Amino acid sequence: MGRYLIWGGSGGIGAAVARRLSTEGHAVHLAARDAAKLEAVARETGATFTVADALEPDAVRRASEQGAAGGVLDGLCYAVGSINLKPAQRLTDADVEGDFRLNALGAFRAIQAALPALKKAEGTASILLFSTIAVAQGFTAHASVAMAKGAVEGLVHALGAELAPKIRINAIAPSLTRTPLASALTANASVTDAIAALHPLQRLGEVDDIAPMAALLLGPGSGWITGQVIGVDGGRSTLRTKG
């Protein structure tokens, strides 16, 4: 069985990935900032955890060391991110830089710190990042998150080439999925009904729509997939059923 480090392992999607991997019998280590939330997921899944901020390089190194028991990791998942929606005119440099640091630089640092352990995996190791459907398709008020997640997709392609064949790297690009991160957008039933109707599959995403694909991309079952950004999005990114 494998050993996996999940950044954002106390969040909506990260915790679902942790549950899925631990159900499959893998050893899971979580990293995020809030100890109480990490403890709750750890109790449920049997995971170990490190309280760490992905924006602090020392903390990232510490979490990687503690996550890699015996110095070995089979997979790394960076399920940390932001949804900062504002028209371009209202975006500040701090907004744009903050989104870039959390989504792209944070992912890059987590990968850099985990690389020695991933290289020691017995077979192929795997990295999973998260993008959004708002990179390949334009949405109003999404400039900052689209730039940050566009950088994540660039990282998938660049490192897919650089780390092959030992380490695979892919991203999932979800559409709106019910998690704490999306709660501002999913709190109002008439708004969510309207957004759900824009999806060919007529509903919003749930974390358990994302976790099976995440587990697949992290594990050996996807051993011939690297450098890909895969939509898990109710058909929103590619299909049009009306008009």
Ligand X SMILES: NC(=O)c1ccc[n+]([C@@H]2O[C@H](COP(=O)([O-])OP(=O)(O)OC[C@H]3O[C@@H](n4cnc5c(N)ncnc54)[C@H](OP(=O)(O)O)[C@@H]3O)[C@@H](O)[C@H]2O)c1
Edge-to-edge order in the sheet of strand 27-32: 48-51, 27-32, 3-7, 75-78, 125-130, 167-174, 229-232
Query: Taking contact as CB under 6 A, which single stretch among the options 67-75, 110-118, 159-167, 171-179 is the one that binds ligand X?
Result: 171-179
Does residue 100 interact with ligand X by CB under 6 A?
no
Identify the residue whose tokens are 């998942």: 77
Residues 198-227 that bind ligand X (CB under 6 A): none
- Dihedral angle sign, alpha carbons of residues 108, 111, 116, 119: negative
Does residue 231 interact with ligand X by CB under 6 A?
no
Does residue 8 interact with ligand X by CB under 6 A?
yes
Q: Cβ of residue 153: shortest distance to ligand X, in angstroms?
A: 12
Q: How many residues interact with ligand X (rule CB under 6 A)?
A: 27
Does residue 170 interact with ligand X by CB under 6 A?
no
Options 3, 4, 5, 14; binder of ligand X; rule CB under 6 A: 14
Options 179, 222, 226, 237; binder of ligand X; rule CB under 6 A: 179
Does residue 50 interact with ligand X by CB under 6 A?
no
> What's the one-letter identity of residue 157?
H
Distance CA 163, CA 21 (A): 23
Does residue 150 interact with ligand X by CB under 6 A?
no
Distance CA 83, CA 176 (A): 10
Does residue 75 interact with ligand X by CB under 6 A?
no
Does residue 54 interact with ligand X by CB under 6 A?
yes
Residue closest to 33 by CA, chosen among 55, 12, 3: 55
Helices (H), 24-105: 35-45, 57-67, 93-100
Query: Taking contact as CB under 6 A, which single stretch among the options 28-36, 120-128, 192-200, 221-229 is the one that binds ligand X?
Result: 28-36
Distance CA 122, CA 103 (A): 29
> Which DSSP category does 205 fall into?
B
Q: ω before 165 within 30° of 0 (cis)?
A: yes
Q: Cβ of residue 165: shortest distance to ligand X, in angstroms?
A: 26
Residue closest to 66 by CA, chosen among 32, 17, 31, 111: 31
Nearer to ligand X, 30 or 118 (CB): 30
Options 45, 50, 132, 170; binder of ligand X; rule CB under 6 A: 132
Q: Cβ of residue 61: shortest distance to ligand X, in angstroms?
A: 14
Does residue 182 interact with ligand X by CB under 6 A?
yes
**Interface positions with ligand X (CB under 6 A):** 7-8, 10-14, 32-34, 37, 53-55, 79-81, 102, 130, 132, 174, 176-177, 179-182
